[in-house]
Structure 1
Amino acid sequence: MKQRILAVVVMLSLVASQPAFAWFNGGHEIVAYIAYQRLNPATRARVDGLLKLNPMYARWTVDVENSRKPLFAFMMAATWPDCIKQASCEPGYTSDGGNTPPGQPTDDQNIGYADKLMHQYWHFVDTPYSAGASGQPPKTPNALTEIAKLSAAIATDESDDIKSYDVVWLEHLVGDIHQPLHATSRFTIDHPQGDAGGNLVFFCNLPCTDELHAYWDGLFGDTPTQEQISENATALLRHPKPAGTESLDVQAWVTGSFDFAKSAVYIAPISQDNDPSVKLSPRPNAPYRSQANRVANEQVILAGYRLANLLNTKLK
């Protein structure tokens, strides 16, 4: 029993210390690429100027042709909120409570790049999926509350420094919330406190960390080339414009992702997670991956269109 308790403690500590990524860089850059093509000229010019205020702009655009710098910066900006979790990328940021809001006034502050908190808890909203155990309401602030807050902020006369920060976060969070496992936590007998958006659904024994959340994050690759991003995003833009692209109802976005979590993520061969004798989940098979790819494509297209519509509508 002591060994099992220790194993659970170690597992939970690993998850608590892991950054909550979504789509990895590939997915976020595809969302941004799609959105940039849908920005109207005035919004695009405004965004181009705001992104120059990001402290990493020079690094993003070094050796990039002048004509490609605006698009490239917009794509890189979509990855910045994940980047600041890594000292090798952007030092000086503090993890204030990890994936759990510490309950401080700074949790949802909006002060621009002077804010050196990682705000890891902004990246998701744990809508409870009760599949064997009673769920718990999501903690706040979260992706839902922050998208709403930052969307309102960019429509005001706030300073450009803060507005730049808000646009970068919105780029990222709109992508995040369209990853189904960033919109839910499944509550089961094996994980009565929730599975942290699939982070606790392991496919192999520790110290291996191959798990369900990372599987979905990686569907578009971690560090694809810009040629691959352009090719994939261009192909997705050829798809018919999906329904719901004009919606600015963030709760509806969350609900859509949550529904996909139930219908396309937590399905066979993924473990139902209600048998304590079953420690690991079977890995996704070919039919599962085929459906996962279809859902992921639909979601990044929606995210791109919705991000563009949000900025076209709100950005002042």
Structure 2
Amino acid sequence: MRKFAAIAAVAISAALPTTSYAWWDSGHMRVAAIAYEQLSPQAKAEASRLLKLNPKYGEWAAAVPAKPDGTPGDVDQYVFIRAAVWADDIKTYKDYTRDNDTATGPYAARNVGYSDKLVHDYWHYKDIPFSTDGSTWPPQDPVNAETQIKLFSAALPVSAGKSDDIRSYDLSWLIHLIGDVHQPLHSTAYFNKALHKMWQDRGKPDLGDRGGNEITVVPADGKETKLHFYWDGIFGGYSTPLGAIADNGADKIPAPADAFAKELDPAQWLEESHDLALQFAYSAPVALDPTQPVMLTREYETNARKVAEAQISLAGYRLANLLNDAFK
């Protein structure tokens, strides 16, 4: 498994174009746009049918603009891509809550469909720990992106016997989570003595760098930001599916190697992302010290864009392969 991940990291480091996309809403929608093109007709039909059960379907469908020639827009494509950010959108919905919502709580791993009004922040990542100075770390969350991707994927086939409400909910989450785990800093937490002291001074348990959220960097625009934020927003971008559809038509990211695209084990995806984080996200000149902001080099930023583009493409193809298999 680790050897496969190392090979993936080497493959991704090969030269790729560095045109601009995004890793926030835009990145997630780009993953979905890539995936939609690779879906079988049967998978497209079933995904579209299930997404009609998402509570936001009516709002999304109503927003589909006509094509330039005046013909109706593709509602199914638009909704599939828009659904990619629903799992982030719920963080702002008034009827969703973080109360009593922890990775060790009794509701952490449930799969009950849209009646679940918990935000489940911990579903978006799996912080695989590492240290360069012998620091230790607390136990990992028992419920995380890996556990939920496995749970939701298993529930999608009709043979699983789940209700359409649950299958729709799971599909909405999967379209998002598969994008999440291909962002290298959604798979990593760094621990060292400086970070440990920082948490002690705050009077809180040691959480390491929280996937780059405690490491400050200065990219080319000269504005300080957190390492995680830099990688999440590496390409800037748009907030509607139209941008993802246009980009996918005008500036296609190269398809991944077939062997990588057909790998559907989320544990393997996370290993690959973790290896990429160590090789690229935490590479020089990033300082692994929360008190030392560092200026990113052109080489660092160029490599970061290459990695993000390759990961977006890989996530899209893997999402499509997973859905084609589930809905066959």
Q: What TM bracket, shorter-length normalisation? A: 0.7 to 0.9
TM-score (norm 1): 0.84
The answer as to whether partners of 1:127 and 1:137 remain within 8 angstroms in 2 is no
Residues 103-142 of structure 1 correspond to what in structure 2 (within 5 A)?
A: 103-132=104-133, 133-142=135-144
The answer as to whether partners of 2:213 and 2:229 remain within 8 angstroms in 1 is yes
The answer as to whether partners of 1:33 and 1:230 remain within 8 angstroms in 2 is yes
SS in 1 for 2:274: helix
Structure 1 position 222, deviation (Å): 5.1
The answer as to whether partners of 1:236 and 1:301 remain within 8 angstroms in 2 is no
Equivalent position amino acid for 1:165 in 2:
Y
Structure 1 position 292, deviation (Å): 0.3
CA distance change for structure 1 residues 295 and 238 in 2, over 3 Å: closer, same or farther?
closer
Instruction: Give the count of matched residue pairs.
Output: 283
- Of 274, 277, 292, the residue aligned with 1:280 is 292
Structure 1 position 203, deviation (Å): 3.7
- Of 180, 190, 215, the residue aligned with 1:201 is 215
Give the gaps of 5 or more residues in structure 2: 1-21, 67-71, 197-205
Structure 1 position 62, deviation (Å): 1.4
The CA RMSD over aligned residues, in Å, is 2.1
Give the gaps of 5 or more residues in structure 1: 1-21
Q: 1:234-287 CA distances to partner (integer Å, 9 max, x unpaired)? A: 3564524424101111111000000000000001121032xxxx7132132221
SS in 2 for 1:185: strand
2-structure distance, mates of 1:259, 1:238 = 21
2-structure distance, mates of 1:294, 1:143 = 24
- Of 182, 185, 191, the residue aligned with 1:187 is 191
Q: Is the deviation greater in 143-152 or in 55-64?
A: 55-64
CA distance change for structure 1 residues 61 and 158 in 2, over 3 Å: closer, same or farther?
same
Structure 1 position 315, deviation (Å): 3.3
Equivalent position amino acid for 1:233 in 2:
N
Higher relative contact order (CA 8 A, sep 6+): 2
Equivalent position amino acid for 2:24 in 1:
F
Identity %: 41
The answer as to whether partners of 1:25 and 1:223 remain within 8 angstroms in 2 is yes
The answer as to whether partners of 1:39 and 1:312 remain within 8 angstroms in 2 is yes
CA distance change for structure 1 residues 226 and 109 in 2, over 3 Å: closer, same or farther?
closer
Query: Is 2:261 the counterpart of 1:268?
Result: no
1-structure distance, mates of 2:138, 2:248 = 37
1-structure distance, mates of 2:41, 2:48 = 10
SS in 2 for 1:190: helix
